[in-house]
Structure 1
Amino acid sequence: MKKTFLLLCGLLACVSAAQAERNDSFQKTVIRARDGAGDLVHKVTTLTGKIEVRRGTLLIQAEHGILTEDAQGYQHIVLSTLPGEKPVFFRQKRDGGENLWMEGEALQVEYDEKAELVDLSSDAKVRRTADAVVTDEVTGEHIIYKSREEKYFVTQLPGGSPVADRRGVMVLQPVRKDPLISPASATASTHQ
């Protein structure tokens, strides 16, 4: 059983990948899990326990997952959590700087390699960080993050409560600094 799982992981490591950072597309996929059962004919693997999916800078962690591969070799993985378990977590480096990241969590996360997107459902949260500081944060029922274009979409899940406030929330940090507070303006004002 373990040999079949390791063989499947080795085969899956040879396929191309999704990314926000362009180099991630050309990295191998490494999947670790406590238990795995693979069907090599139908290209379906069931994973459980401390799952880690890594491809370049992309990291997804969960407790339960089902991985499939299409005829062209693209991977699709659905990761989920049960009540009392930690949410599914993802993190990926963004292009454009040394320490720029996109990260998030939800009760279910789908990763589609071909479309290069992360689909977060139920209690979804996505954060954009720069130098370990959150620059933007989005919460909602359903968030789709397209890593290739670095775009996200927030929607409601069908069939939710009509009385609850189900709107998505975006918190955008200001890029501009208050000139009365910045150190540069304080120095400039003392030299006048």
Structure 2
Amino acid sequence: MTHPSHSTTSFPWRRLGRASVLVAALALAAAAQAEKADRNQPMNIEADSLRYDDLKQTSVFTGRVVVTKGTLLIRGARIDVRQDPEGYQYATVTADPGQRAYFKQRRDGGNDEWIEGEGEVIEYDGRADTVKFIRRAVMRRLTGTTVTDETSGPLITYNQTNDTFAVNGAPPPPGGTPQPGGRVRAILSPRSTEPTQAPAPGPRTGGNLRQSGTLGGQPGGSR
């Protein structure tokens, strides 16, 4: 069903300009380490067109898609959104050919620390609280606009609940040579070792991202 005039769906919208859409109930909920305030913010999706299926509880936005929800920002060529019977939401963001979809969100209590990621496809799983960056994937941690850590590989999975990430490389074919871009690459900035005055007790800050498992590859390879 395309553009129904009346619906009882949990994905309401308003037609504004170039299909600017307010999806109030579409809660791509941020978990413990992402910006907590984002969970209570409305989600705005702007696109050139929208196709909505009330029966299947799916929405497809296409054309210069921009998603904002508090500090969360997602950009891509297309986003497919669905909701399961328990109310969990799932989203798949696809880039134009040769491009990468983009994700950015502030870390909770991180003093202007951000998580930024790119991939030809970005998948959000509301039940598992994970974000996957697929194919030519890159994930960065920024302080302000300065990149402090960066990792890349064919697949990066970011777990928002425990603030860990896993990077998967592409194994070479049997008897073959490694595929270009199939290796994992990481750039980790050294932390300051200068003695500093102990801070007063206070709320726990975001800290550094923790890697889940091993990188599984040596530095190098194509991004």
- The alignment's TM-score, normalised by the length of structure 2, stands at 0.70
Instruction: State the alpha-carbon separation in 2 of the partners of residues 5 and 155 from structure 1.
Output: 45
Are the structure 2 counterparts of residues 100 and 34 from structure 1 closer, same or farther at C-alpha, using a change threshold of 3 Å? same
Instruction: State the alpha-carbon separation in 2 of the partners of residues 143 and 175 from structure 1.
Output: 23
Are the structure 2 counterparts of residues 15 and 60 from structure 1 closer, same or farther at C-alpha, using a change threshold of 3 Å? closer
| Structure-2 residue corresponding to 1:106 | 119
Any stretches of 5+ residues in structure 1 without a counterpart? 180-192
More helix per residue: 1
| Structure-2 residue corresponding to 1:187 | none
How many residue pairs match? The answer is 178
1:75-101 CA deviation, whole Å, 9 max, x = no partner?
1111112324x3100000001233110
Code of the aligned partner of 2:24? A
- The alignment's TM-score, normalised by the length of structure 1, stands at 0.81
Larger radius of gyration: 1
Whether 2:183 is the aligned partner of 1:172: answer: no
Following TM superposition, the consecutive aligned residue runs of length 4 or more in structure 1 with deviations greater than 4 angstroms are: 1-7, 157-162
Map 1:1-192 → 2, pairs under 5 A: 8-10=11-13, 12-19=23-30, 20-84=34-98, 86-156=99-169, 162-164=176-178, 166-176=182-192
Are the structure 2 counterparts of residues 39 and 54 from structure 1 closer, same or farther at C-alpha, using a change threshold of 3 Å? same
More strand per residue: 1
Q: CA RMSD, aligned part only?
A: 2.7
Q: How far 1:148 sits from its partner (Å)?
A: 2.3
Q: Secondary structure at the match of 2:25?
A: coil
1:124-154 CA deviation, whole Å, 9 max, x = no partner?
0000001211110010000001122221110
Instruction: State the alpha-carbon separation in 1 of the partners of residues 189 and 67 from structure 2.
Output: 30
